[in-house]
Amino acid sequence: MSGTLPDVFDAFTELKTLTLADDRSGLILRPNFGSIPPSVFMMPTLQLLRLSNMTLVGSIPSEIGNATYLTTLDFSTNKLVDDIPSEIGSLTRLETLSLTLNHLTGGFPTEMGDMTSLLTLQISSIFEPTLRTRPFPTFLDRVCGHFLEIALL
Protein backbone atom coordinates (compact mmCIF):
# COMPACT_ATOMS: atom_id res chain seq x y z
CA MET A 1 0.00 0.00 0.00
CA SER A 2 1.44 3.39 -0.95
CA GLY A 3 0.42 6.84 -2.11
CA THR A 4 -1.75 9.39 -0.33
CA LEU A 5 -5.23 8.88 1.02
CA PRO A 6 -7.85 10.45 -1.27
CA ASP A 7 -10.31 12.96 0.15
CA VAL A 8 -13.39 11.09 -1.10
CA PHE A 9 -14.60 9.23 1.96
CA ASP A 10 -17.80 11.27 2.32
CA ALA A 11 -19.19 9.26 -0.61
CA PHE A 12 -19.37 6.19 1.64
CA THR A 13 -22.59 7.08 3.44
CA GLU A 14 -23.34 3.57 4.81
CA LEU A 15 -19.81 2.56 5.89
CA LYS A 16 -19.53 1.50 9.55
CA THR A 17 -15.90 0.31 9.71
CA LEU A 18 -12.81 1.71 8.01
CA THR A 19 -9.46 0.08 8.73
CA LEU A 20 -6.41 1.22 6.83
CA ALA A 21 -3.34 -0.03 8.65
CA ASP A 22 0.14 -0.76 7.35
CA ASP A 23 1.13 -3.81 9.34
CA ARG A 24 4.33 -4.65 7.51
CA SER A 25 6.66 -5.13 10.44
CA GLY A 26 10.38 -4.74 10.13
CA LEU A 27 10.34 -1.96 7.56
CA ILE A 28 12.96 0.68 8.16
CA LEU A 29 11.53 3.16 5.67
CA ARG A 30 7.77 3.37 5.55
CA PRO A 31 5.88 5.07 2.75
CA ASN A 32 4.24 8.39 3.65
CA PHE A 33 0.49 8.20 3.16
CA GLY A 34 0.00 11.96 3.53
CA SER A 35 -2.40 13.54 5.98
CA ILE A 36 -5.78 12.50 7.33
CA PRO A 37 -8.39 13.57 4.76
CA PRO A 38 -11.16 15.65 6.39
CA SER A 39 -13.82 13.69 4.47
CA VAL A 40 -13.05 10.59 6.56
CA PHE A 41 -15.07 12.27 9.32
CA MET A 42 -18.06 12.96 7.04
CA MET A 43 -19.28 9.36 6.87
CA PRO A 44 -22.51 9.57 8.88
CA THR A 45 -22.64 5.93 10.04
CA LEU A 46 -18.92 5.33 10.73
CA GLN A 47 -18.39 3.58 14.06
CA LEU A 48 -14.81 2.28 13.84
CA LEU A 49 -11.93 4.21 12.28
CA ARG A 50 -8.46 2.71 12.33
CA LEU A 51 -5.70 4.60 10.51
CA SER A 52 -2.69 3.14 12.27
CA ASN A 53 0.95 2.60 11.41
CA MET A 54 0.66 4.55 8.16
CA THR A 55 3.17 7.36 8.71
CA LEU A 56 0.35 9.90 8.45
CA VAL A 57 1.58 13.47 8.89
CA GLY A 58 -0.01 16.79 9.75
CA SER A 59 -2.72 17.68 12.22
CA ILE A 60 -5.84 15.83 13.27
CA PRO A 61 -8.51 17.72 11.29
CA SER A 62 -11.10 19.71 13.25
CA GLU A 63 -13.76 17.88 11.22
CA ILE A 64 -13.23 15.00 13.66
CA GLY A 65 -16.14 16.49 15.62
CA ASN A 66 -18.53 15.45 12.83
CA ALA A 67 -17.92 11.72 13.39
CA THR A 68 -20.37 11.50 16.28
CA TYR A 69 -21.15 7.78 15.82
CA LEU A 70 -17.54 6.68 16.33
CA THR A 71 -17.01 4.15 19.10
CA THR A 72 -13.38 3.29 18.23
CA LEU A 73 -10.71 5.68 16.94
CA ASP A 74 -7.13 4.51 16.38
CA PHE A 75 -4.48 6.89 15.02
CA SER A 76 -1.57 5.05 16.65
CA THR A 77 1.95 4.90 15.24
CA ASN A 78 1.86 7.84 12.85
CA LYS A 79 3.58 11.22 12.74
CA LEU A 80 0.66 13.44 13.68
CA VAL A 81 1.60 16.85 15.06
CA ASP A 82 0.05 19.96 16.65
CA ASP A 83 -2.75 20.04 19.20
CA ILE A 84 -5.52 17.52 19.67
CA PRO A 85 -8.48 19.52 18.32
CA SER A 86 -11.13 20.54 20.84
CA GLU A 87 -13.80 19.16 18.49
CA ILE A 88 -12.78 15.65 19.62
CA GLY A 89 -14.99 16.30 22.66
CA SER A 90 -18.05 15.90 20.38
CA LEU A 91 -17.34 12.16 20.16
CA THR A 92 -19.53 11.30 23.12
CA ARG A 93 -20.05 7.68 21.96
CA LEU A 94 -16.31 7.02 21.72
CA GLU A 95 -15.27 4.02 23.84
CA THR A 96 -11.68 3.50 22.63
CA LEU A 97 -9.15 6.19 21.70
CA SER A 98 -5.58 5.36 20.70
CA LEU A 99 -3.15 8.15 19.85
CA THR A 100 -0.03 6.21 20.89
CA LEU A 101 3.30 6.94 19.18
CA ASN A 102 2.70 10.29 17.49
CA HIS A 103 4.36 13.72 17.75
CA LEU A 104 1.58 15.86 19.18
CA THR A 105 2.78 19.13 20.66
CA GLY A 106 -0.19 20.51 22.58
CA GLY A 107 -2.02 19.36 25.64
CA PHE A 108 -5.39 17.74 26.03
CA PRO A 109 -8.41 19.93 25.34
CA THR A 110 -10.80 20.18 28.27
CA GLU A 111 -13.62 19.19 25.88
CA MET A 112 -12.30 15.61 26.10
CA GLY A 113 -14.10 15.54 29.43
CA ASP A 114 -17.37 15.34 27.46
CA MET A 115 -16.34 11.91 26.14
CA THR A 116 -18.18 10.10 28.94
CA SER A 117 -18.39 6.74 27.11
CA LEU A 118 -14.59 6.45 26.95
CA LEU A 119 -13.39 3.13 28.40
CA THR A 120 -9.92 2.75 26.86
CA LEU A 121 -7.46 5.61 26.42
CA GLN A 122 -4.05 4.86 24.89
CA ILE A 123 -1.87 7.96 24.86
CA SER A 124 1.63 6.68 25.53
CA SER A 125 4.51 8.40 23.75
CA ILE A 126 2.34 10.96 21.98
CA PHE A 127 4.00 14.21 22.96
CA GLU A 128 7.31 15.73 22.08
CA PRO A 129 9.85 15.05 24.88
CA THR A 130 9.81 18.67 26.10
CA LEU A 131 6.07 18.44 26.79
CA ARG A 132 6.06 15.12 28.67
CA THR A 133 6.35 17.06 31.91
CA ARG A 134 2.90 18.61 31.47
CA PRO A 135 0.43 18.05 34.30
CA PHE A 136 -1.87 15.03 34.23
CA PRO A 137 -4.69 15.71 31.75
CA THR A 138 -7.42 17.66 33.56
CA PHE A 139 -10.24 16.16 31.52
CA LEU A 140 -9.62 12.77 33.13
CA ASP A 141 -11.21 13.83 36.40
CA ARG A 142 -14.55 14.05 34.56
CA VAL A 143 -14.37 10.63 32.87
CA CYS A 144 -12.02 8.57 35.04
CA GLY A 145 -14.68 6.76 37.03
CA HIS A 146 -15.30 4.08 34.43
CA PHE A 147 -12.02 3.45 32.56
CA LEU A 148 -11.06 -0.12 31.81
CA GLU A 149 -7.60 0.81 30.52
CA ILE A 150 -5.38 3.87 30.51
CA ALA A 151 -1.95 3.62 28.85
CA LEU A 152 0.09 6.74 29.62
CA LEU A 153 3.74 5.64 29.50
For residue 112, being part of any structural domain is answered with yes
For residue 57, being part of any structural domain is answered with yes
Across 126-147, average pLDDT: 55
Chain center to CA of 22 = 16
List 58's β-bridge partners, or say none: 80
- CATH (domain of 39): 3.80.10.10
The region of weakest confidence among 33-37, 39-43, 127-131 is: 127-131
Percent of the chain, pLDDT > 90?
44
For residue 69, being part of any structural domain is answered with yes
Across 30-57, average pLDDT: 88
Output the pLDDT for position 93. Answer: 96
Q: Give the chain's domain count.
A: 1
Please tell me whether the overall predicted TM-score, pTM, comes out greater than 0.75 for this model. yes
76 closest CA partner among 93, 87, 60, 90: 60
For residue 131, being part of any structural domain is answered with yes
Q: 51 or 128: whose pLDDT is higher?
A: 51
Instruction: Identify the band that residue 61 occupies on the pLDDT scale cut at 50, 70 and 90.
Output: very high
Q: Which domain holds residue 61?
A: 9-20+30-151
